[in-house]
Amino acid sequence: MNALPYAIYVSFIGALLALIGGARSPATARVIALVTACVAWGISLVAAVQFVPAAGLQTLIDLPWVPEIGIHYYLAADGISLTLILLTGLAAVAGILFSWNIEERTGEFFALFLALIGGVYGVFLSADAFTLFVFYEIAIVPKYFLIAKWGSGNREYAAMKLVLYSFAGSALVLAGLLWAYAAGGAHSFALGDLAAAAAQFSRGEQIGMFGLVFLGFAILAGLFPFHTWAPTGHVAAPTAASMLLAGVVMKLGAYGCLRVAMPLFAAGFQFWQPTIAWLAIIGILYAGLVALVQDDFKFVIGYSSVSHMGFVLLGLAAANVQAVSGAVLQMFSHGVVAGLLFAVVGRMVYERTRTRKLVELQRLPLHRHLPFAAAVFVIAGLASMGMPGFSGFPAELTILIGAWQTSPKWALFAALGILVAAAFTLRAIQLAFFGSTGATIEGRASTGGLDPVRTDSAPAPYRPISLPEKAGALLLVGATVLIGLKPDLLLNLINPALQSSLFQHVLKGGAP
């Protein structure tokens, strides 16, 4: 448990080593990166096993950092952070496995990747607003270079857009936190101290501060209408970065909302609650409908991420223990499933076929040539639709039940989103993998009379799925099935954390 901070340090040291090792050979950098990510994940797994669930944050390390203005280097963990730490480790390992084929500036790629991971670990472990903010910003800049250098398509535009959105969000967070610090005369940035100071604020101040901090974080969580960075960024990013961006980095935003904005400014939250819920529902439906008409395979997944993150935000907005525990579970579930989807689209399919256009993929009977990719995508698709047996099911169900308790209307509209998700996922599966043999009208029309039998019988023109890809995919599939069958593994971590006194003013059904 107390070794958890080393997950951060190991990642940063691994980043440096990968940079140095990459100058020798790409293989060295790959091995260093994989070992680093495995060690960090191992640390979090051991911590999760040893963890004794309890209400409230359990201090890991608390040192005075800048005593002149009361800043502490304060790391702590509870079930929520632990869940997300586990996800980060998993996504990091899988991401590195799926980046095994990066040949250009390999050392720098993995260095940036691990620096991003280190920042993410730091955010999830911080119990001091300043510490959290520092790690949050450390995680911003690597994203730019990962996308701008190793990305595809309109990558420089997408990278800049994504980074400016993130940074603008963090500027809002900074403004809100400094406001709370300056106005309250708080002598520290520890979340507990800030919450105590914030309790004294007038309702107007609370509304303003919550608005700034929540919006700042929610931009990164893909809140409608500030989500537009996400699809462009995810699509342009290299596979590992897409997996991490959609899988983990968006969770940073949702985590910030839950950990910082909501407990600190409970009165402000109550004012904004309906707005957030409706924006989340619009996000679910709008992004889902947009995903339904995309002709770029990766954009389908990009918009589906926004739609699924809408469920997370709705769970947070519903503000009862059930909905929020569902939201945290959904963060984990979506992290795994989005990683899997991006891995199939970006790495297994795109790097072999060099096209992401559904119309073109339709002509390739990919389920014959890449049966493994097709199988993985079908599983990921089922998980993404929220089929029982996969992690998406308990997560979305819990969120909907929780939302119903707060407002049945929210649950009804959000449930429509599940239908939309089923529609766009099935369409993508159909067009991308089962196109030419499928009997859709679209399919026949676009093959333009091409004889399907001939293409079918041609030898597989693609390199077979490599071992690292299979390992990464099995890892993620295993995680989504495991949590789908036994969600209690995580819920038993999450639920006690929601009984913490930090959440008592903001969550219904929490501690009295």
Partner 1 sequence: MNVDYSELFRALRPETSLLIGALLMLGLDLTVFRQRSSADRMRLAAFIGALATVTAMIHVWSFGARGATFGQVFMFDAVAVVARLGLLALLLLTLCLVTAARCPRHPVEYLAILLFATMGFLLMAVAQQLLLAFLALELASLSLYVLAGYDKKRAASAEAALKYFLFGGMAAAFLLFGFSLIYGLTGSIELPHIASSLAAQAQSPLLSVALVMVLIAFGFKSAAAPFHLWAPDVYEGAPTLSAALVASASKLAGFTLFYRLLWSGLGGAAGSVSSGVGSPGWLPAAAVVSLLSLLLGNIGALAQGNVRRLFAYSAIAHAGALLLGVMAAGRSGPAPLLYYATTYAFATVGVFGVIAMIERTGPCDKVTDLAGLYRRSPVLAGCLAVFVLSLAGIPPLAGFFGKFVVFAAALKLGGVAGPAGWLTFLAIALSAVALYYYLLVLKQALVTEPAADRSARIATPAVAVFALLGAAAVLVVLGIWPSLLLGRI
Distances (CA, A) of 258 to 141, 254, 337: 23, 6, 22
d(CA 435, CA 443): 6
Of the candidates 259, 420, 399, the one whose C-alpha atom is nearest the C-alpha of residue 334 is 399
Q: Which is nearer to partner 1, 67 or 408 (CB)?
A: 67
| Helix (H/G/I), strand (E/B), else coil: 272 | helix
Q: Which is nearer to partner 1, 130 or 303 (CB)?
A: 130
d(CA 166, CA 187): 28
Please list every residue from 65 through 124 that binds partner 1, using CB under 8 A. Answer: 65-69
With CB under 8 A as the contact rule, the residue among 175, 199, 422, 471 that binds partner 1 is 175
Neighbours of 200 (CB within 10 A): 12
* Shortest Å distance, C-beta 67 to partner 1: 7
Please list every residue from 187 through 226 that binds partner 1, using CB under 8 A. Answer: none
- The answer to whether 178 contacts partner 1 (rule: CB under 8 A) is yes
Of the candidates 419, 369, 422, 418, the one whose C-alpha atom is nearest the C-alpha of residue 397 is 418
* Shortest Å distance, C-beta 231 to partner 1: 21
Please list every residue from 311 through 340 that binds partner 1, using CB under 8 A. Answer: none
- The answer to whether 140 contacts partner 1 (rule: CB under 8 A) is yes
* Shortest Å distance, C-beta 175 to partner 1: 5
Q: Which is nearer to partner 1, 65 or 462 (CB)?
A: 65
Q: Which is nearer to partner 1, 139 or 280 (CB)?
A: 139
Of the candidates 234, 1, 204, 240, the one whose C-alpha atom is nearest the C-alpha of residue 111 is 240
What count of Cα atoms within 13 Å lies in the side-chain half-sphere of residue 401? 10
In 221-365, alpha helices (H): 229-236, 239-244, 250-256, 262-264, 266-292, 297-318, 321-342, 351-353, 358-361
Q: Which is nearer to partner 1, 217 or 299 (CB)?
A: 217
* Shortest Å distance, C-beta 64 to partner 1: 8
Of the candidates 141, 101, 375, 119, the one whose C-alpha atom is nearest the C-alpha of residue 238 is 101
With CB under 8 A as the contact rule, the residue among 40, 75, 125, 138 that binds partner 1 is 138
* Shortest Å distance, C-beta 274 to partner 1: 26
Total interface residues for partner 1 by CB under 8 A: 30
Q: Which is nearer to partner 1, 163 or 345 (CB)?
A: 163
Encoded amino acid at 432, one letter? A
Q: Which is nearer to partner 1, 183 or 474 (CB)?
A: 183
Q: Which is nearer to partner 1, 133 or 224 (CB)?
A: 133
Please list every residue from 152 through 171 that binds partner 1, using CB under 8 A. Answer: 156, 160, 163-164, 167-168, 171
- The answer to whether 16 contacts partner 1 (rule: CB under 8 A) is no
For residue 508, list its beta bridge partners: 320
* Shortest Å distance, C-beta 148 to partner 1: 5
Q: Which is nearer to partner 1, 179 or 271 (CB)?
A: 179
d(CA 2, CA 499): 22
| Helix (H/G/I), strand (E/B), else coil: 66 | strand
- The answer to whether 134 contacts partner 1 (rule: CB under 8 A) is yes
Task: Identify which range of 140-148, 282-290, 419-427, 441-449 contacts partner 1 by CB under 8 A.
Answer: 140-148
- The answer to whether 410 contacts partner 1 (rule: CB under 8 A) is no
Distances (CA, A) of 248 to 112, 156, 184, 252, 323: 15, 22, 33, 7, 20
Cα-atom radius of gyration of the chain, to the nearest Å?
22
Q: Which is nearer to partner 1, 144 or 433 (CB)?
A: 144
* Shortest Å distance, C-beta 199 to partner 1: 17
- The answer to whether 508 contacts partner 1 (rule: CB under 8 A) is no
Return the exposure string of 48-63: e unless at least 16 CB atoms fall within 10 Å of the residue's CB, then b: beebeeebbbbebeee
Of the candidates 278, 383, 271, 401, the one whose C-alpha atom is nearest the C-alpha of residue 335 is 383
Continuous segment of H or E residues that includes residue 61: strand 58-66
- The answer to whether 183 contacts partner 1 (rule: CB under 8 A) is yes
- Chain positions contacting partner 1, by CB under 8 A: 65-69, 130, 133-134, 137-138, 140-141, 144-145, 148-149, 156, 160, 163-164, 167-168, 171, 174-175, 178-179, 181-183
